[in-house]
Amino acid sequence: MKVSVVVCAYSMNRYGDVCDAVRSILDQTYDNIEIIIVVDGNLSLFEQLQSKFSDQEVVTVRCNEENMGLSYSRTQGVELASGSVVAFLDDDAIAHPDWIEQLVRGYKETDAIAVGGRMIAKWIAGRPPYLPEEFNWLIGVNYEHRLDNWTEVRNTLGSNMSFRREVFEETGGFDEQMALTDLDLDSPTDEESTFLKHLAFSSVPNRVSKFISQPSLAKLQQLLLLLVLTSCVGLGYAYGAITYWIDSVVN
């Protein structure tokens, strides 16, 4: 099973990060790969990357004529890809050595049309003391306590995802205007509902208890932000539920 890995880049400020990302893909335990770097309208970055990886037969570097955005760049990468699986890695991410091997395992052992993995933050300047880990997903990082190995999820993180090639043949690629996630509020196992219950009945009470037993400024900051963000999630879910109910009655 050949895997095409698409890495999109756009800024010279990320040159070192892009090189590290590509190198982490070249160092994978799985060999049947190709790497497609799509530079979004930055000729200088394109020339630097083309020169950097000119000795790597599995690396292809292409440049959009102008800045067209991430969705357009990813679609261009898909069109250049020849693998039966197309994977995507952000230009500032580092892949674990067996990343592709595990993605392939997911496709070989299941009938999944998409397989993704977790993202772990590397806090260069230290983790923000006010950010509750329950909302790591706001910065594209997984909430570790809610992770299960090899479980079905609604969607993967965009910085670490892959699809069977036929998915793109059926859909025509990424929406260049806006990526929307379908929300099925009719399902009793809905991800939003489960996450909201976890926040309200587990995370908030636990943090209140810990703050009372061992108060600190960091715990107070995280608790307050957790309450605010949980309220936002609750309001958003309520709005979606009401909208769904209205649409059901009208239709």
Q: Give the class (CATH, top level) of 3-117+156-171.
A: alpha beta
3-state class (DSSP) for residue 125? coil
Instruction: Report the C-alpha gap between 237 and 197 in whole angstroms.
Output: 11
Q: Which two tokens stand for residue 48?
A: 């630097």
The answer to whether residue 214 scores a pLDDT higher than 80 is yes
Tell me whether strands 160-164 and 85-89 are parallel, antiparallel or unpaired. Answer: antiparallel
- The mean pLDDT of 228-233, rounded to a whole number, is 90
Angle (CA) 51-101-142 rounded to 5° is 90
- Under DSSP, the state recorded for 96 is -
Q: What is the pLDDT of residue 181?
A: 47
What's the whole-number mean pLDDT along residues 168-197? Answer: 66
- The CA distance from 18 to 49, in Å, is 9
What's the sign of the alpha-carbon dihedral 219, 223, 229, 233? Answer: positive
Helix or strand run (H / E) with residue 116: strand 114-116
Dist CA 55 CA 173 (whole Å)? 30
Q: Are 10 and 40 in contact (CB under 8 A)?
A: yes
In 81-216, which residue ranges form alpha helices assigned H by DSSP?
Answer: 99-109, 165-171, 191-198, 204-213
CA contacts within 13 A on the Cβ side of 98: 3
Q: What is the mean pLDDT of residues 206-231?
A: 94
pLDDT score, position 161:
92
89-120 burial code (b ≥16 CB/10 A, e <16): bbbebbbeeebbeebbebbeeeeeebbbbebe
Q: How far apart are CA 87 and CA 5, in angstroms?
A: 5
Confidence of residue 178 (pLDDT cuts 50, 70, 90): low
Q: Give the integer Cα–Cα distance in Å for 138 and 235.
A: 17
Q: What is the pLDDT of residues 84-134, one digit of tens each?
A: 999 999 999 999 999 999 999 999 999 999 999 888 888 888 888 999 988
- Domains of the chain: which residue ranges? 3-117+156-171, 191-250
pLDDT, residue 145, reads 66
For residue 23, how many C-alpha atoms fall within 13 Å in the half-sphere facing its CB?
9
pLDDT bin (cut points 50, 70, 90) of residue 219 is: very high
pLDDT score, position 154: 72
Q: What is the pTM of this model?
A: 0.79
Q: How confident is the model at residue 190 (pLDDT cuts 50, 70, 90)?
A: low
Residue range 147-166, pLDDT digits in tens: 667 777 777 778 889 999 99
β-partners of residue 38 are 8, 62
Token readout for 164 is 């069977």
Residue 185 banded pLDDT, cuts 50, 70, 90: very low
Which amino acid does the sequence have at 31?
D
